[in-house]
Amino acid sequence: MSEQIKTDICVIGAGSGGLTVAAAAAAFGEDVVLLEKGQMGGDCLNTGCVPSKALIAAAHHAENMRQANLFGISSVEPRVDFQAVHDHVHSVIGAIAPNDSVERFEGLGVRVIQQAGHFTDKRTVATADGQYEIKARSFVIATGSSAAVPPVEGIERIPYFTNETIFSLTKRPRHLVIIGGGPIGVELAQAHRRLGAEVTILEAYGILSREDPELSSVVIDQLKREGITLHEGVTIDRIEPAEDKDATPYGATLHFSHTLDGGVAGDADFVEATHVLVATGRRANVSDLGLEAAGVSYSERGIAVKPTMKTSNRRVYAIGDVAGGMQFTHVAGYHAGLVVRNILFKLGAKENTHIVPRVTFTAPELAHVGYSEAEARQKFRQVRILRWPFGENDRAQAERETAGFIKIITNKKGVVLGASVVGKNAGEIINMWALIVSQKMNIKAITGYVSPYPTLSEVGRRAAISAYADLPSKPGIRKIISFLKFLG
Ligand SMILES: Cc1cc2nc3c(=O)[nH]c(=O)nc-3n(C[C@H](O)[C@H](O)[C@H](O)COP(=O)(O)OP(=O)(O)OC[C@H]3O[C@@H](n4cnc5c(N)ncnc54)[C@H](O)[C@@H]3O)c2cc1C
Ligand SMILES: NC(=O)c1ccc[n+]([C@@H]2O[C@H](COP(=O)([O-])OP(=O)(O)OC[C@H]3O[C@@H](n4cnc5c(N)ncnc54)[C@H](O)[C@@H]3O)[C@@H](O)[C@H]2O)c1
């Protein structure tokens, strides 16, 4: 006989989205039950953002040692102890884990059940072990996503890696071949290259193809300079396991062809990998949730939600990666905030995807918020583009980080529609522009604040000032100055 629980809110999934809903709702005195079938903290903490950024930080230190001669210090080729790098990555996870732990959440008053949950009807969730049946006034599905594995012939015969397994390597891969040149592919390609691995990316279309090519080309040039082999526009025809399994237990040969115009296969080629990482996008975790029983509509992309994050069942919300939109930790957190407002205060708060920034943590970093130039040109009759290069920034010069620029898109009245930054600390610089876009601020406001010198963020203010570059030579302005002079 299972225990019957009645609660205000039942959250399924204790990742970035689910934890935020649980903590906020409990703080307002709601009864919350939180179900988690795996590790508390979900993808971001255990197999996503945190380990990838910790690995990138290690790789950054290795690269700094190679580049030290630029600063008058002898460059050295670093000796990388991959087991120690692995331990660093996992100690960072360990340092953050208490924030997401069962103990912390129980301390906040949340009832945590470490079991998978599934709907048995429109108002009931049961746990996989059959011990609990939960009836709630509202349900929040926050079950995230998993690596989507492409249907390539032979892939099932090789022990490929995904984000769930790559961070457990304790020996450096000799030749890492990455399938997919999106954010996961490029971040992990550069990190492994800097840590001394040979790295190849096989990408079906273009590297970072969702980004403005004017900016992504700066990142791509750097990846090539660092010795990463990029094959864009390829079709992987088949994969074979390595012949010598003792020498390369994870090895494989990947046969591919360059796709020509019209999608026709061109010249055939192959690459031999000691390790293969699949980074070809994500699949929403919707199976085994009993969504049919709950009357919740979904597709391959994920659970269908309205802008309020409500599903086709008015008691059930879906947030984060499983909702099939943008897949970022800050989006899951943003969704969580909307859902808490909508469940507790019936505010009908709606998602505004326009204000959501994104950052790819390569070196240089690539960050964006709002409309891209191409989107703005489609939507508005007149747009203005402002740019400022890192090469014209004193701090960037001092740090020898002159690759990159900021690009700001405004409408004809000067309202900021979007901003993109490629360069050192682009992810920090974009914060201010995310605020500017969310508040629909005018570029004039950015000329009027004082930016501390010397900082990289000054590139934004200089780009804004460039909007008024022709002001001193305007006859009207000259006349006003002469008139004021005449007055004494
Ligand atoms: C390598 C990598 C790097 C990334 N880097 C970044 C980054 O730098 N910045 C960024 O913003 N985003 C990044 N992301 C994306 C980010 O990790 C996700 O967008 C985020 O984790 C989504 O949060 P979520 O709450 O929707 O899902 P998750 O964090 O995945 O949480 C879902 C949880 O639900 C649990 N669950 C699933 N089904 C059930 C069930 N039936 N019952 C109970 N529990 C269940 C899962 O075990 C999991 O713990 C990265 C992703 C990857 C893979
Ligand atoms: N810094 C960050 O915020 C960050 C970092 C990593 C991941 N993420 C999130 O995780 C999500 C998933 O990242 P991702 O890089 O896996 O997905 P993605 O969808 O962004 O990129 C996948 C790439 O794989 C390519 N591809 C697909 N099938 C292929 C095939 N058969 N052969 C060769 N190439 C193929 C696609 O053309 C695409 O370029 C991202 O959309 C992002 O939201 C964010």
Is 185 touching ligand 2 by the criterion CB < 6 Å? yes
Is 183 touching ligand 2 by the criterion CB < 6 Å? yes
Compute the distance from residue 306 Cα to the ligand 2 centre, in Å: 25
DSSP 8-state assignment for residue 456: T
Q: What 3-state DSSP class applies to 357? A: coil
**pLDDT, tens digit, 9 for 90 and up, residues 275-289:** 999 999 999 999 999
Domains: count for the chain? 3
pLDDT for position 50: 98
Binned at pLDDT 50, 70 and 90, residue 17 comes out as: very high
Residue 478 lies in a domain: no
Binned at pLDDT 50, 70 and 90, residue 224 comes out as: very high
Task: Give mean pLDDT, residues 454-466.
Answer: 97
Compute the distance from residue 179 Cα to the ligand 2 centre, in Å: 9
Domain range spanning residue 343? 3-146+283-353
| Pocket of ligand 1, beta carbon within 6 A | 12-18, 35-38, 42-44, 48-49, 52, 116-117, 142-144, 163, 184, 285, 288-289, 320-322, 327-330, 332, 361
DSSP 8-state assignment for residue 29: T
- In this structure, are 73 and 182 located in the same domain? no
Residue 485 lies in a domain: no
For the chain, the distance separating the N- and C-terminal CA atoms, rounded to the nearest angstrom, is 94
CATH for 394: 3.30.390.30
- In this structure, are 226 and 301 located in the same domain? no
Q: Which ligand is nearest to the CA of 239?
A: 2
Residue 53 is labelled as binding a ligand: yes
- In this structure, are 12 and 99 located in the same domain? yes
Binned at pLDDT 50, 70 and 90, residue 263 comes out as: low
- Long-range CB contacts for residues 152-155, cutoff 8 Å, separation at least 24: 152/179, 152/236, 152/237, 152/238, 152/239, 153/237, 153/238, 153/239, 154/238, 154/239, 154/240, 154/241, 155/239, 155/278
The burial of 320, by beta-carbon neighbours within 10 Å (0-12 exposed, 13-18 middle, 19 or more buried), is given as buried
pLDDT for position 6: 98
Residue 112 lies in a domain: yes
Last residue of a domain, one of 278, 308, 338: 278
Residue 479 lies in a domain: no
Judge contact between 212 and 219, C-beta under 8 A: no
429: its two tokens: 């610089």
Q: How many whole angstroms separate alpha carbon 26 and alpha carbon 277?
A: 39
Q: Which protein residue has the closest C-alpha to ligand 1 atom 12? A: 328
Compute the distance from residue 381 Cα to the ligand 1 centre, in Å: 39
Task: Give mean pLDDT, residues 108-119.
Answer: 98
Phi/psi at 118 (5° precision): -150, 150
- In this structure, are 56 and 161 located in the same domain? no
CATH for 274: 3.50.50.60
Last residue of a domain, one of 278, 313, 343: 278
Q: Which protein residue has the closest C-alpha to ligand 2 atom 27? A: 280
- In this structure, are 52 and 168 located in the same domain? no
The answer on pLDDT for 297 being more than 70 is yes
- In this structure, are 12 and 135 located in the same domain? yes
Supply the pTM of this predicted model. Answer: 0.97
pLDDT for position 266: 78
Residue 191 lies in a domain: yes
- In this structure, are 58 and 39 located in the same domain? yes
User: Higher confidence at residue 246 or residue 294?
Assistant: 294
Residue 231 lies in a domain: yes
Q: Which atom of ligand 2 is nearest to the CA of 326?
A: 43
Residue 2 is labelled as binding a ligand: no
- In this structure, are 51 and 95 located in the same domain? yes
- In this structure, are 36 and 122 located in the same domain? yes
pLDDT for position 485: 87
- In this structure, are 306 and 390 located in the same domain? no
- In this structure, are 102 and 209 located in the same domain? no
Binned at pLDDT 50, 70 and 90, residue 228 comes out as: very high
Last residue of a domain, one of 263, 278, 293: 278
Binned at pLDDT 50, 70 and 90, residue 25 comes out as: very high
Residue 119 lies in a domain: yes
- In this structure, are 337 and 405 located in the same domain? no
The answer on pLDDT for 245 being more than 90 is no
Residue 358 lies in a domain: no
DSSP 8-state assignment for residue 384: E
Q: Which atom of ligand 2 is nearest to the CA of 358?
A: 3
